[in-house]
Amino acid sequence: MTEPHKSSANLVFAADLGGTHLRGALVDPEGVIHTHWKQQTPKASSAECVIRALVEVANECQRQRGIDALRAACILVPGTLDSANETVTQAPNLPSLNQFHLKPALEARFGIPVLLENDSNAAAVGETWQGAAKGARNVLCITLGTGVGGGILLDGKLFRGTHGIAGELGHTTLDPFNGPECKCGNRGCLEMFASATAIVRMTLESLSSYPDSILQDTRLTAAKVFEAGKRGDQLALQIFSIVGAYLGVGIANLINVLGPEVVVVGGGVANGWSLFEASMRAQVLKRAFPSLTQLVSIKPAQCGDNAGLLGAAHLAWTSLPSD
Ligand SMILES: [Zn+2]
């Protein structure tokens, strides 16, 4: 065995600090993932435990790749950051990080430049670098998971807004007066109609009207509703049609405001694309300016679970001075 070539150390560390899993990867400047590692996110209450776990994952990735130096790191946080992207403002699933100065703490531990980014913002960057929006300058990325996240790229750059909290596409209002209450305090947010949580809630609400549905007597999950839809279950098809309709209204609003080239729909619920695409497109055509809808391409995401990690890697690479 020869020693790894020196250029093999030309890698950044990208990590996605999810509520359940902590995933890390080493990524080169071309967007190739060289190695990755996944473990449980520590449930302990201190920020120190989270930092230790991030260091462990980075060390494991370096061990697998046989290198002892990294260029930079970017850590994705499921929450909001301050305007300087140094402090976690609020991470509902990792409350020990609330108001914690995570960036300086990680830089002290890693000894390399460390960036922090919101996970949905990074997914938008990843899809624009290597996925469905490759090469586009103005991109909206909507991530349909347990909640609904979003990221906006304008003129090729991530748009963070004045205080670093822009792009919360899941909390745009679609039904202000009759819509269900959202945990953000608003009513009728997109998240209340297009998330995995919403799919389960809406299916339960309609179950009594569909006595023949194969979803009767099952412990509902969004994935089960999707499987039932693929088998032609009328209740499941109706639910996905509603998901698409609300999503389409939300996308139409965003198209009229921002005039993007590409709208990417990702996250676990986007697996149901074939079941919600028609009702989504129908609403977009009905509501957005025809001059804009002719120019925009609405697509499912392509990077899957790796969108965030790739976005993190791209942000890390572009933060470094070019050699
Ligand atoms: Zn909301």
190 CA → ligand 1 middle, Å: 7
Question: How far apart are alpha carbons 208 and 130 in whole angstroms?
Answer: 44
CA of 187 to the centre of ligand 1 (A): 7
Q: Kindly give the distance from the C-alpha atom of residue 92 to the centroid of ligand 1, in angstroms, as a whole number.
A: 14
Q: Average pLDDT in the 12-36 region?
A: 95
Cα 106 to middle of ligand 1, angstroms? 31
236, two tokens: 């499941």
Is residue 151 within 8 A of residue 136, CB to CB? The reply is no
Q: How many angstroms separate the CA atoms of 155 and 137, rounded?
A: 5
Q: Are 34 and 65 in contact (CB under 8 A)?
A: yes
pLDDT at residue 189, as a whole number:
97
142 CA to centre of ligand 1 in angstroms:
14
Cα dihedral 42/43/46/52 (nearest 10):
-10
pLDDT > 70 fraction of the chain, expressed in percent and rounded: 97
| Span 154-182, pLDDT tens digits | 999 999 988 888 899 999 999 999 999 99
Distance from the CA of 60 to the center of ligand 1, in angstroms?
Answer: 38
| pLDDT at residue number 7 | 42
Cα of 236 vs its chain's centroid, Å? 24
Centre of ligand 1 from the C-alpha of residue 272, in Å: 22
Q: Is the pLDDT of residue 214 over 90?
A: yes
pTM of the model: 0.93
Span from the CA of 174 to the centroid of ligand 1 (angstroms): 10
CA of 214 to the centre of ligand 1 (A): 31
188 CA to centre of ligand 1 in angstroms: 7
Q: Which residues contact 245 (CB under 8 A, 6 or more apart)?
A: 279, 280, 282, 283
Alpha carbon of 189 to ligand 1 centroid (Å): 5
Confirm if 263 and 297 have CB atoms less than 8 A apart: yes
Distance 168 CA to ligand 1 centre (A): 9
**Secondary structure element (H or E) that encloses residue 169, with its range:** none
Query: E strand or H helix at 126, and its extent?
Result: helix 119-130
pLDDT, tens digit, 9 for 90 and up, residues 79-113: 889 988 999 998 888 899 999 999 999 999 999 99
**Span from the CA of 143 to the centroid of ligand 1 (angstroms):** 14
Span 188-206, average pLDDT: 97
Look at the alpha carbons of 258, 263, 267, 273 in this order and tell me if their dihedral is positive or negative: positive
CA of 138 from ligand 1 middle (Å) equals 24
In three state form, how does the secondary structure of 35-73 look? Answer: EEEEEECCCCCCHHHHHHHHHHHHHHHHHHHCCCCCCCE
Strand segments (E) across the chain: 12-17, 21-27, 33-40, 73-77, 80-81, 88-90, 114-118, 139-144, 148-154, 157-158, 262-266, 297-300
Q: For 238-285, what is each residue's pLDDT tens digit?
A: 999 999 999 999 999 999 999 999 999 999 999 999 999 999 999 999
The two beta strands, 88-90 and 148-154, are unpaired
State the distance from the centre of ligand 1 to the C-alpha of 191, rounded, in angstroms: 6
Q: How far is CA 298 from the centre of its chain?
A: 17
Q: What is the CA radius of gyration of the chain?
A: 20
Distance 183 CA to ligand 1 centre (A): 6
pLDDT at position 93: 84
